[in-house]
Amino acid sequence: MGLQPQGGGSGGQKAGLCGRKMAHARQIASRDEYLLNGVRIFSQVLGLSAQKALVQDLRDVAQKAPFFHPKTARGRKMSVQMTAAGHFGWVSDGKGYRYEPRHPSGGAWPPIPAALLALWQEFCPNARAPECCLINYYGQGARMGLHQDRDETDFDQPVLSLSLGDDALFRVGGTTRGGPTQSHWLRSGDVALLDGSARLAYHGIDRIRFGSSDLLSRAGRLNITLRVVR
Ligand code: SIN
Ligand code: FE2
């Protein structure tokens, strides 16, 4: 699902909508694509000015919903800092991993920035609207171990990921733990799409090249993932 033109598919779409979705599919088809164990990587989707504007949007989000260091269920502080926008944010603490409608401080999450909703429309035209925009900040030495994104209810809905700032070594495996993995350096402006048979692919960030980009006012990397939660 997700990227196929609707014409030969399951049907039921109105002609106007169908035409719009085919235009989207063509837009994606014209992009450079790289496959990492089925995860689709699109290089340099956002140019520098779009990246800068988005960083400002994300700063506004973080002002209302400050970054925090989630803890694993075992009480270990994760190296990545997180916040979110949308109806839900992903949190992790002694009670485990889950989506929550409120920031740990009690406030609602700010709305998802329009530029990210537009990106979702381009890459996931057939999906439901994203309900969570998870924002991860990787400072020096931060990493993320191999994991599946499976706290959502409907695995037919894709996860769309955008990288901003420092380069990151992205590792992708199969849908079972322990299989062969492939790695790729994600750069600022790159998009990754976990969809279809790769929706539940194991993935993680081995390391970042701290200071490799000057997009952010401090070095580091932002990763944004858009998810349908329910
Ligand atoms: C994630 O899996 O939530 C983040 C992946 C990334 O930082 O690229
Ligand atoms: Fe993930």
Q: Following CA atoms 141, 142, 148, 153 in sequence, which dihedral angle do they give, to the nearest 10 degrees?
A: 180
What is the model's pLDDT at position 75? 87
Q: Which ligand is nearest to the CA of 151?
A: 2
Over range 6-21, report the average pLDDT: 34
Determine which helix (DSSP H) or strand (DSSP E) holds 64, and give its type and residue range. helix 48-64
Measure 228 CA to ligand 2 centroid, in angstroms.
Answer: 13
144 lines ligand 1 (CB under 6 A): yes
**Which domains, and CATH codes, for the chain?**
33-227 (2.60.120.590)
Under the banding of pLDDT at 50, 70 and 90, the label for residue 23 is low
Average pLDDT over the chain, rounded to whole?
89
Determine which helix (DSSP H) or strand (DSSP E) holds 89, and give its type and residue range. strand 89-93
How many residues in total does the chain contain?
230
**Which of 205, 222, 224 has most ligand 1 atoms within 8 Å of CB, for mutation?**
205
224 lines ligand 1 (CB under 6 A): no
**Selected residue with higher pLDDT from 64 and 19:** 64
Q: Are 134 and 92 in contact (CB under 8 A)?
A: no
- For residue 22, pLDDT beyond 80: no
DSSP structural state of residue 62: H
Q: Are 142 and 178 in contact (CB under 8 A)?
A: no
Range with lowest mean pLDDT among 21-35, 44-58, 143-157: 21-35
**Which of 147, 202, 223 has most ligand 1 atoms within 8 Å of CB, for mutation?**
223
CA atoms within 13 A on the CB side of 69: 8
Over range 102-119, report the average pLDDT: 97
Sheet holding 168-172, edge to edge: 144-147, 203-208, 168-172, 182-186
What is the model's pLDDT at position 136? 98
Q: Tell me: the pLDDT tens digits for 62-92? A: 999 999 999 987 889 999 999 999 999 999 9
Q: Percentage of residues in the chain with pLDDT exceeding 90? A: 81
- For residue 16, pLDDT beyond 90: no
Over range 24-45, report the average pLDDT: 85
Please give the C-alpha separations between residue 43 and each of 123, 162, 187, 217, in angstroms, as whole numbers: 13, 10, 8, 23
Angle between helix 48-64 and helix 114-123 axes, rounded to 10 deg: 120
Under the banding of pLDDT at 50, 70 and 90, the label for residue 24 is low
Q: Are 187 and 101 in contact (CB under 8 A)?
A: no
Tokens of 77: 């502080």
Bridge partners of 102? 108
Alpha carbon distance, N-terminus to C-terminus of the chain: 18
Q: Taking the model in full, what pTM does it have?
A: 0.89
For the CA of 134, the closest atom of ligand 1 is: 3
What is the model's pLDDT at position 32? 84
Over range 136-153, report the average pLDDT: 97
Report the alpha-carbon distance of residue 99 to residue 184 in Å, rounded.
Answer: 28
Under the banding of pLDDT at 50, 70 and 90, the label for residue 30 is confident
Q: Residue 181 contacts by C-beta under 8 Å, 6 or more apart in sequence? A: 37, 146, 171, 172, 173, 202
Under the banding of pLDDT at 50, 70 and 90, the label for residue 217 is very high
Q: Residue 174 contacts by C-beta under 8 Å, 6 or more apart in sequence? A: 37, 180, 201, 202
Over range 168-184, report the average pLDDT: 97
Measure 139 CA to ligand 1 centroid, in angstroms.
Answer: 14
What is the model's pLDDT at position 21? 55
